Amino acid sequence: MNLHKRPWISRRTFLRGTGVAMALPYLEAMMPQSVFAAPTPEAPSRMGMFYFGTGMNMRQFWPDQTGAEASSSRILKPLEKHRGEFTAINGTFLSEGGGHDGAYPFSTSIAKGKKQQRSPDQIAAQVIGADTRFSSLQLSVDRGTNFGSQALATISWNEQGVPLAAENDPKVVFDRLFRPDTRDEKIQEKNEFRRRRSILDLVRDDAKQLAGKLGQTDREQLEQYYNSVRELEKSLARRVEWADTPKPAVETDNLHGTYKKKMEGPEGSGDYLYDDYAKLMYDLIALAFQTDSSRVVSYVVRKELAGGVYPEFNVSQGYHSLSHHGNDPQSLEELARVDTIYMQHWAYLLDRLKSIREGDSTVLDRTVLGLSSGMGFEHSKDNLPTILSGGSALGVKHAGHLKLEQEVPLASVWHTMLDRINVPVNGQFQDSTGVISELVS
């Protein structure tokens, strides 16, 4: 006699409509029902790696004190509401980093020009990505790889040491998550966007049938998910509309210098304010995790050399120029201002992941995120701006501002992240000195 009933709803259930397939978030109704009240299965573990090119203003990055109760620094102030859910790790370095080739060894510890090896995200993808539609997602402010240049657009490498191309267009990423791939259906999808036909409209009948089978908690969870998709669609629809609207001619002679040349970065994929773009990309990461479309993400948030600042930042130079500050007070002030803006966006991602509940925890609790750079301050390979976020349900023990007694390679952070999501590494992992014990419970 089988005493364990099957789940009411399969974890792989999709809401379907003409030309769309909409994955569902983690719901109580997906848990196995048992006359013996079998233990609830855990939601999946997830991992994200994020690259911030050209370092940061480390003079205003580290808090003055150490420990969980350390007062926030200027740059980390946006993360204050997530105290207890992140750690700024003081004491990481890249032995092959520094300068503007740091994106190459960032995830592999191998210098530019040498044969690369599989990056940590791809090691994770092989283990925890096997059951998802996308074993991993590679995102960037620039499409492709830019392999060979200093402005590398990806930090993901396969087992042959080949760079994996990244995507920078939110619309393309959205299509991958929710839209079909055939040419005819893509044409139909484009027309649907222009007519404001929402994916939620297309799956309405399936959604109504599903709602009748769910309890109150699951219905609230689904409504939150639907709202997220709806808001994302509205933002993307505005982009489609404005893409056909001619831009006005303006006189540029007296405008701020950064307006006088073509901006690099996300502007190559559409006419966005960077604030909108950053939040769209983080929304898509949250949806990919929420729907279990992917459990592994890499994202080049800021490239080396080119880009990194946008007109609305209201600074006088590009990020690279600001990093060559020569102790000029204005340049240092503007550099800290830009870094703080990026941390505001990082806080937005943590907000989104924390808002999504999975049983007794949240997506943030079961996701370990690491961000850093290929350099620290003034193009140094030491004192990298490294932050570990999330993962409290995975045994991550956050310390606020952790100043390590001895410097450790950045690979030790990736090693710790893989350890927390139960992804084994065989033998010596890069140049890691082992899991950072201060970060595990």
Tell whether 196 is covered by a domain.
no
CA dihedral 261, 163, 93, 265 (to 10 degrees): 20
Please, what sign has the CA dihedral across residues 373, 374, 379, 384?
positive
pLDDT higher than 90, residue 243: no
pLDDT tens, 201-216?
A: 878 778 888 877 788 8
Tell whether 183 is covered by a domain.
no
pLDDT higher than 60, residue 311: yes
Both tokens of residue 392?
A: 């409290």
- 371 beta partners: 50, 387
Q: What is the pLDDT of residue 213?
A: 79
Helix 204-211 with 216-243: angle, nearest 10 deg: 160
pLDDT tens, 393-421?
A: 999 999 999 999 999 999 999 999 999 99
Mean pLDDT of all residues in 287-305 = 94
Number of domains in the chain: 1
Tell whether 406 is covered by a domain.
yes
pLDDT higher than 70, residue 369: yes
Greater pLDDT, 233 or 115: 115
- 4 beta partners: 34
Tell me which residue of 287, 203, 292, 190 sits closest to 241, measured CA to CA: 190
- Show the domain range for 360: 42-168+265-439
Q: What is the pLDDT of residue 185?
A: 56
Tell me which residue of 299, 306, 297, 296 sits closest to 278, measured CA to CA: 299
The DSSP element (H or E) to which 260 belongs, if any, is: none
Alpha helices in 362-410 (DSSP H): none
Q: Would strands 386-390 and 86-93 be described as parallel, antiparallel, or unpaired?
A: antiparallel
How far apart CA 273 and CA 226 sit, in angstroms, is 25
CATH number of the domain residue 60 falls in: 3.40.720.10
pLDDT tens, 119-151?
A: 999 999 999 998 888 999 999 999 999 999 999
Please state, rounded to an integer, the average pLDDT across all residues of the chain.
84
Tell whether 380 is covered by a domain.
yes
Q: What is the pLDDT of residue 253?
A: 37
User: Residue 11 — pLDDT band, cuts 50, 70, 90?
Assistant: low
Cβ burial, residue 161 (10 Å; 0-12/13-18/19+): middle
Greater pLDDT, 24 or 301: 301
User: Residue 172 — pLDDT band, cuts 50, 70, 90?
Assistant: confident
Tell whether 304 is covered by a domain.
yes
